[in-house]
Amino acid sequence: MKNDRLSFIINSDFAMMKKAVVLFSGGIDSTTALHWSLDRFVKVQALTFDYGQRHRIEIRHAAKLAKLLKVDQKTLQVDLNPVGGSSLTDHSLAVPDFENVKTGRGRPPSSYVPFRNGIFIALAAAWAEARDCRNLICGFNVIDSPDYPDTRKSFVRAMEKAVNSGSKAAFGGDRFMIHAPFIDMKKSEIIKLGLSLGADYSYAISCYSGREIPCGKCPACCLRRRAWKEAGREDPLIERLKKEGAL
């Protein structure tokens, strides 16, 4: 599958082109992005963010997945708890049930972390620039979650422009490219692509509750359950938990 590229041009410098940094939370989308990158780049590094999220188990599992794939992985700490405004970082706010979240309202749900992806891209760009890498890979998609402002094409384009304006690229250095190959895909389509690339989703965590066993009620759980149903197979995470006697 070819990257839709969002108007990005392949860098002519192969030394830069062969390197990629994947924003890797350890969820379904970023796990697929990691495999997508391994299929296209010579050197791939995974960058995970510990931002004070409620579902911190994803950090531990992200490290486990990276180790299984023999991918260099780094976790950067950036505490967004003081920022507040999100049920994922503020424990005084309840995580919404999926049935109570209405899409298409033109405003983000309470699980939106203010400008989180912008912060992550900025940090990833700084980290990548220090390592002579100019390809940033994101698993963003907007079809199943249209009310998040920081997963849209316009946002990705704007961030790429900002990164290139505020880095060595502004003085003629190699330009950054932000690849978001799944941005127009449904989660079930992302899953099918990942499976074709050999992705193991048994340790990919989605639930906002902070537990390994899915709560089954939050938006992430419900979207994930629907996606696996559309993909026509049982969720490998559920399969693993059953085998381990956790379910």
Q: Where are the beta strands (DSSP E) in the chain?
A: 19-23, 43-50, 72-77, 135-137, 177-179
Q: What is the mean pLDDT of residues 147-166?
A: 96
Q: How far apart are CA 204 and CA 200, in angstroms?
A: 8
**Per residue in 42-75, pLDDT tens?**
999 999 999 999 988 999 999 999 999 999 999 9
State the sign of the Cα–Cα–Cα–Cα dihedral 207, 57, 231, 109: positive
Q: Above 50 in pLDDT, residue 77?
A: yes
What's residue 106's pLDDT? 67
- Please count the other Cβ atoms lying within 10 Å of the Cβ belonging to residue 43: 15
Kindly report, residue by residue over 203-239, the tens digit of the pLDDT: 999 999 888 999 999 999 999 999 999 999 999 999 9
What percent of the chain lies above the pLDDT cut of 70?
Answer: 90
CATH no., domain 5-243:
3.40.50.620
For the cut 50, the answer to whether the pLDDT of residue 10 exceeds it is no
pLDDT band (50, 70, 90) for residue 4: very low
Say what the pLDDT of residue 104 is: 53
pLDDT at 197 over 80: yes
Interatomic CA distance for residues 130 and 139, integer angstroms: 22
Q: What is the layout of strands, in order, in the sheet containing 19-23? A: 72-77, 43-50, 19-23, 135-137, 177-179
Query: Given a cut of 50, is residue 162 above it in pLDDT?
Result: yes
Give the three-class secondary structure for 50. Answer: strand
Nearest-5° Cα angle at 62, 235 to 56: 95
How high does pLDDT run on average in the chain? 90
pTM of the model: 0.90
pLDDT higher than threshold 80 for residue 8: no
> With bands split at pLDDT 50, 70 and 90, how would you rate the model's confidence at 95?
confident
**pLDDT on residue 105:** 61
pLDDT above 90: percentage of residues in the chain: 80
User: Residue ranges of the domains in the chain?
Assistant: 5-243
DSSP 84: -
| Spatial separation of the C-alpha atoms in residues 200 and 194, rounded to whole Å | 8
